Structures are given as C-alpha cells and as structure tokens.
C-alpha cells in the first residue's frame, strides 16, 4: 500500500521519502547546493574581468535585492558578514598607496603614491571585494556539508570516495577543535599550562596531528571495508534532485554579471583587470 505524502512532508523527506537534515529555511536554501556553486561561479568569474566601481556597485545592489527577494534577511546577512567591511578597506588601502600612478598626484612618499588612478582603483577594489564575497556567504549560509556532498556526487558525478572522504574531513574538523579544548583542560588540570606557551603549543599541535592521522587511517579502513572505490554503483539515502529553479539560479547569476559589466561599458568605466 502506498502512502501519499503532503507537500510539507515531501519538502522535508524528499521526493523518495528519504530524510534530510532540516527543512530549507528559505527559498534560496531549497536550491540544489551544486546549482548555488555554479551560480556563484557564473556571477563572480565575469566580474573579475573588469576592476571598476560602476560594475561593483551595480552587482552589489542587484545581489542585495535578489537575496532579500529569496527570503534571506539582509540584516541577518550583514550581521554574518561584518568582517567583510573590515577586510575591504584594507585591500583598498593597498591599492590606494601602491597602485600604478596616473593622473593628478595628491600625495607621495617613497614608493607610495596617491593619484587619481589609485583612488579610482581603491574604491573599485573595495566595492568588488564586498560584491564577490557577499553572495558567497548568502548562497552557502544554510548549506549543510552532507547536502553539498550529495549534490556533488549525484549531480556533479564526482567520485563517491573523494566526496565522502572530503565530507568526513569537514565533519572531523569540528571534533578536532573539541579535542584541542579537551587537551587544554587536561593540561591545565595537571598544572602544565602555567608557563612555556610556545612549547605547549608545539606539543599540543603534534598530539593533535597524531590523533588526526590515526582517525584518518581508521576512516580509510572503514571505507575500504564498505567497498568504496569499487566499480559497483552506490545508492544514496538522501536524493539530490535537480529542478527548474536550479537552472534559474545559474541563469540569474550570469544575468547579474552581464548587467554589471554592461553598466560599466555604458558608463565608460570598464577596465580590463584594472589596467
């Protein structure tokens, strides 16, 4: 007897009734992780062709509008990406001081020159850093590593052994942080954390490296025992469907890049790699 699932149950369990980790919190999170990765590539790769402030501003505005329309709170996103607004001025400062001099010179000292060209490149670089990093954070904010591994293996046709080994490495990284904290507490309980910080750092790093290698060997043995790397096709507990919205996400990424570069050409600010 077949059981008819409701639309909400299908969203949580998937089209074949296999459980996923969490229901998608927004429309953007319901897009296939591989499609999000390809959409980011379609958006960011063309934007690297020109370094100008017009294309950066246009791309940034369109990205914020699309992220907000997809159900992602812009305020929540900005809270998660506050560090970008600290990194971007630092990259702009480098261009401001050491970019190729051109136009009117405002200030100079030794190898440092602030000219019209360096000011333009600095402003363009600062906007471009935010425009390239912000969609990356927004697209993968609610992406679970397991869902990404399923998408890469089922839709991207990557080798299952490589994909699942990478997934295990990501999962193990959190455990290594916990192990580091446990070693700190154990050494403190034995009175070994009062002095010699540099020496203690080296000892703990070596111990963590040994622990990581042992876990990697155990994981490799377990994967061999389960037949990973064989020619037999594997089954997947969580299907990773590819739908029309996934193609739409890639198309939107390419259109945003095209609109940004088109605006730069129309405004006369297009510059091949800032030259």
pTM: 0.74
> Which 3-state string (H, E, C) describes the chain?
CCCCCCHHHHHHHCCCCCCCCCCCCCCHHHCCHHHHHHHHHHHHHHHCCECCHHHHHHHHHHHHHHHHHCCCCHHHHHHHCCCHHHHHHHHHHHHHHHCCCCCCEEEEECCEEEEHHHHHHHHHHHHHHHHHHHHHHHHCCCCCHHHHHHHHHHCCCCCHHHHHHHHHHHHHHHHHHHHHHHHHHHHHHCCCCCCCHHHHHHHHHHHHHHHHHHHHHHHHHHHHHCCCCCCCCCCCCCCCCCCHHHHHHHHHHHHHHHHHHHHHHHHCCCCECCC
Mean pLDDT comparison of 19-23, 184-188, 192-196, highest-scoring range: 184-188
Q: How confident is the model at residue 18 (pLDDT cuts 50, 70, 90)?
A: very low
- The reported pLDDT for the residue numbered 24 is 57
Range with the poorest average pLDDT among 72-76, 163-167, 192-196, 243-247: 192-196
| pLDDT-above-90 percentage for the chain | 11
**Average pLDDT in the chain:** 80
- The reported pLDDT for the residue numbered 58 is 92
Res. 221: pLDDT tops 60? yes
Res. 155: pLDDT tops 60? yes
- The reported pLDDT for the residue numbered 258 is 93
Boundaries of every domain in the chain: 33-40+50-146+244-259, 160-225
């Amino acid at each position: 007897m077949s059981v008819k699932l409701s639309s909400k149950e299908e969203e949580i369990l998937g089209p074949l009734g296999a459980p996923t980790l969490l229901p998608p919190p927004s429309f953007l999170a319901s897009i296939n992780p591989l499609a999000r990765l390809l959409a980011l590539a379609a958006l960011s790769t063309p934007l690297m062709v020109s370094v100008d402030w017009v294309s950066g501003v246009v791309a940034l505005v369109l990205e914020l509008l699309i992220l907000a329309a997809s159900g992602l709170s812009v305020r929540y996103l900005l809270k998660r990406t506050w560090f970008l607004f600290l990194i971007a001025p630092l990259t702009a400062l480098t261009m401001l001081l050491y970019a190729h001099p051109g136009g009117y010179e405002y200030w100079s000292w030794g190898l440092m020159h602030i000219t019209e060209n360096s000011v333009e490149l600095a402003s363009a670089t600062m906007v471009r850093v935010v425009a390239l990093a912000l969609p990356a954070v927004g697209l993968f904010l609610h992406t679970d590593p397991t869902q990404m591994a399923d998408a890469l293996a089922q839709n991207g046709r990557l080798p299952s052994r490589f994909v699942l080994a990478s997934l295990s490495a990501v999962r193990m990284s959190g455990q290594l942080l916990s192990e580091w904290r446990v070693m700190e507490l154990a050494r403190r309980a034995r009175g070994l954390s009062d002095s010699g910080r540099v020496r203690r750092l080296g000892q703990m790093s070596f111990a963590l490296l040994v622990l990581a290698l042992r876990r990697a060997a155990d994981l490799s043995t377990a994967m061999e025992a389960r037949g990973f790397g064989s020619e037999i096709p594997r089954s997947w507990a969580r299907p990773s469907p590819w739908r029309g919205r996934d193609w739409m996400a890639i198309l939107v990424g390419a259109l945003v890049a095209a609109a940004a570069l088109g605006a730069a050409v129309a405004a006369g600010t297009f510059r091949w790699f800032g030259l």
